[in-house]
Amino acid sequence: MAHDTHDSHGHHHAPAHTAPGALRVRVVERHDGLTEAVYLPAILGGLRITIKKFFRNILGKRDVVTIQYPEEKRRVAPRYRGRHRLTMREDGFIKCVACYMCETVCPAHCIHIEAGEVPDKSVEKYPVVFDIDELRCVFCGLCVEACPKDAIRMDTGIVAMAYSSRDRFDYTRDLLRDDYRPNEKTKYRAVPLPLSDEEALPESRGRAGT
Amino acid sequence: MDLLLTILSIPLVQAILKIVAFVLVFVMATGTVMTLMERKWMSAVQDRIGPNRADMPFLGGLKARGAFHILADGLKSIFKEDTVPEGADRFLFTIAPFFALVAAMAIWAVIPFAGPWGPVTFQITDLNPGLVFIFAITSLGVYGAVLGGWSSNNKFALLGSARATSQMLSYEVFLGLSLVGLFMVYGTLQVGKIVELQNTYWFGDLVPKWGVITQPLAFVMFFTAMLAEAKRLPFDAPEGESEIIAGYFLEYSGMRYAAFMLAEYVAIVGVAGLTTTLFLGGYHVPWLHAGGFHLLGYVLPLPAWLVFLLQLGSFVFKVIALCWFVIIIRWTVPRFRFDQIMDLGWKKMLPVALANVVITGLVLLAWDWLA
């Protein structure tokens, strides 16, 4: 007992304060009476809540918090870090200049870039390959902060990627472009420089284009 | 036409027709719908929407708020592989679900759906020892659970069976004793007569002598025991999902699993049907007699077909309402441990049931002595 020393003083059987660090016991009031033993009052109390809920929700659906996912989507905070996207210039060319800043800063080593030369001399380089392994990504957002050109963002609002095969999580450059529309037959809108057309850029063979 | 009437007058033909109409059309259908309704109703209690996505591709993607989940469940069960675990007792494993299903359906043999309409009765058979038949059949229900769990060669399933057995030992005694009070009051074991006598009245023709009014304690105990019999919460220890996965039908798959599930929901309808019949006046609408309504000296005559429809409607309404109540109870109370069930059965319910019998006897004696 922590109070033994206090008690030995004499009349003070109940100490005014407890010694610091002493074990304090909170006495929970037990309800052991007949009303508890027959269960029924407690069950009726529970039924009152469940039946009230039942009728509220059946009649008005007022308390239902379900979001009907594919049709309805949860509102994502503006700062939420979702799947990446590669932003575009106004003329439709990809903003990325293949500076390797994001690949360098990425703690998960999930970005893989291969640079290529652009015929347009205003920009020095562009990414021939820009792959993100979304399975390795830790969604820290450092790539977005590192980018000097505002070329990569994580503001797509895509919070969940679900595929049945691991390959599908390897997002290639063209899948990451923010003008990519998965359901369209033609993958790209106005693209002045034919990025995925290998004939136009003979030196960029390899994994470019998808 | 004459031939048809002759065939229809054969008792066996009548019985078969009634079995088809009551058991296959009403009980099975209600049980099946309850499998969906349980999910819909529980989600209403829990602030959710519940299953609502199964759609009919041939009806333009009609969803009907999830009504087609019943069909989806059926289809899925049919196409699932029907596995028998290694080391299982194949024969018992195969027949166990049907034990459960048959026991759940057999009590409907003595439950009347409506009053007699001319020579036609709406009860499959009015057995003289109807209550005894009910005892016999309800205690058969546990065989499905015991055989299924024991034959599966799985420890969790066996635990489920053991729990089912211990639970049966706990509730069966006070189930029987709770009904003793009932047949002391009505003086008969015949279910049809009990229902008929529940349409007699006290204080002129004011208060119907429903079982719940003449035997309120017995009503609570009987309903509790029937919840245990149907393995519904708070007495679903044999299944105990959080502890022993699915309990006795853990190893079942495909249609056999579906048969167990269906048996469970048919048992809910059975609980509702029995409670209605024995305690809630059966098919009777209060103050409705064969000729029409009688109340405080006023008479409202009704044609026989309307009386029949009212009675049938009242029975169906009571059954559905009780099914709803059984399901709401499941989402209200937590599960008893199986030693707590034994405690409840032997230390609490049994003395109360005995006291109920004694008090009922004394009251009946005093009643006779005063009269």
Q: Do the chains contact at A38 and B348, CB–CB below 8 Å?
A: yes
Q: How far is B322 from chain A (nearest CA, A)?
A: 13
List residues of chain A with CB under 8 Å from any CB of chain B: 37-38, 40, 43, 46-47, 49-51, 53-54, 57-58, 61, 63-66, 68
**Non-local CB neighbours of A145 within 8 Å, separated by 6+ positions:** A105
Query: Quick one: residue B293, left, alpha or beta (phi over 0 = left, psi -120 to 50 = alpha)?
Result: beta
Which tokens sit at B188? 């008969």
B45/A53 touch (CB, cutoff 8 Å), yes or no: yes
Q: Please give the CATH number for the structural domain made up of A85-176.
A: 3.30.70.3270
Stretches in chain A below the pLDDT threshold 50: 1-12, 183-210
Q: In this complex, do A53 and B333 lie within 8 Å of one another by their Cβ atoms?
A: no
Residue by residue, pLDDT tens for chain B (371 residues) are 788 888 777 778 888 888 888 888 888 888 888 889 899 888 888 888 888 888 787 777 777 777 888 888 888 989 988 888 888 888 888 888 888 888 888 888 888 888 777 777 788 888 888 888 888 888 887 888 888 888 888 888 888 888 888 888 888 888 888 888 888 888 888 888 888 888 888 777 778 888 888 888 889 999 998 888 888 878 888 887 888 888 888 888 888 888 888 888 988 898 899 899 888 888 888 888 777 777 777 788 788 788 888 888 999 999 999 999 999 998 898 888 888 888 888 888 899 999 999 999 999 889 888 87
The total of other beta-carbon atoms located within 10 Å of residue B165's CB is: 17
Q: Which tokens in the block code for residue B4?
A: 């048809």
| pLDDT at residue number B230 | 84
d(CA A39, nearest CA chain B) in Å: 10
Strands of the sheet with A125-133, listed across from one edge: A111-117, A125-133, A170-171
Nearest-Cα residue of chain B relative to residue A44: B332
In whole angstroms, what is the distance from residue B321 CA to residue B314 CA? Answer: 10
pLDDT at position B169 is 86
pLDDT of B55 reads: 79
Cβ–Cβ contact B132 with A under 8 A: no
- Taking contacts as CB-CB distances below 8 angstroms, the residues of chain B near A36 are none
Nearest-CB residue to B328 (from A40, A54, A66): A54
Residues 6+ apart with CB under 8 A from B225: B171, B172, B174, B175, B178, B349
B217 touches chain A (CB under 8 A): no
Inspect the interface and report whether the beta carbons of A50 and B47 lie closer than 8 Å.
Answer: no
Interface contact B220, partner A, CB < 8 A: yes
Q: What pLDDT is attached to residue A186? A: 40
- Using CA atoms, how far residue B320 sits from A47, B29, B36, B276, B317, in Å, is 18, 12, 14, 10, 5
Question: CB A50 to CB B328 under 8 A?
Answer: yes
Q: Which of B153, B141, B168, B158 is nearest to B260 (CA)?
A: B141
Tokens representing residue B275 in the block: 């409670």
Query: Does B333 touch chain A if contact means CB atoms closer than 8 Å?
Result: yes
List the beta bridge partners of residue B120: B117
Query: Which residue of chain B comes nearest to A48, CA vs CA?
Result: B332
Nearest CA in chain A to B345: A38
- Please tell me the predicted confidence (pLDDT) of residue A181: 57
pLDDT for res A108 = 92
The distance of A6 to chain B (nearest Cα, Å) reads: 44
Minimal-distance CA residue of chain B relative to A71 = B53
| Cβ within 8 Å, pair B47-A51 | no
Is residue B332 within 8 angstroms of chain A, CB to CB?
A: yes
Dist. CA A53–CA A64, nearest whole Å: 10
Q: Least CA distance to B326: which residue of chain A? A: A47
Mutation test of the interface with chain B: which of A50, A53, A58, A63, choosing the one with the most B Cβ atoms within 10 A? Answer: A50
Exposure of B325 by Cβ count < 10 A (0-12 exposed, 13-18 middle, 19+ buried)? middle
The ipTM of this complex is 0.79
A160 Cα to chain B: minimum distance (Å): 20
Domain boundary assignment for chain A: 31-65, 85-176
State the nearest Cα–Cα gap between B47 and chain A, in angstroms.
4
Compute, in degrees rounded to 10, the torsion defined by CA atoms A165, A170, A172, A175: 50
Do you find a cis peptide bond into B234, omega within 30 degrees of 0?
Answer: yes
Answer yes or no: are the C-beta atoms of A76 and A82 closer than 8 Å.
Answer: yes
- Dist CA B110 CA B11 (whole Å): 16
How close B241 gets to chain A, by Cα (Å)? Answer: 21
